[in-house]
Amino acid sequence: MNEEKSSREQLDGKGFVFMDSTRCRAYNVRMIDGQPWLCYWNDGYKCFTTLRPVTQSEIFQFAKYALSDDLAKCYFKNETGG
């Protein structure tokens, strides 16, 4: 139960960003319409694009590789054009 609350809190707002080193791509896990989604960084549009819903176990797995807030801000800054 405690892990579930931590996971929900972590996904509130913009969620968290992690890198896939094999594909050299940034991903974002966040809540969209009450459901956790995996989004990928779209270089062409300079924003995160929805990929698919994720499971609770995937969230825990991806969270291990989450970037620091400072590094994640670089993506969100580019996403908003700021």
Q: Taking the CB of residue 17, how many other CB atoms lie within 10 A of it?
A: 25
Residue keyed to tokens 């995996």: 38
Q: Decide: 25 and 39 in contact? Cβ < 8 Å.
A: no
State pLDDT tens for residues 49-82. 999 999 999 999 999 999 998 888 888 887 765 5
How many CB atoms are closer than 10 A to CB 29? 23
For residue range 6-48, list pLDDT tens digits in order. Answer: 555 667 678 999 999 888 899 999 999 999 999 999 999 999 9
pTM for the full model? 0.80
User: Which DSSP string corresponds to 55-77?
Assistant: -HHHHHHHHTTBPPHHHHHHHHH
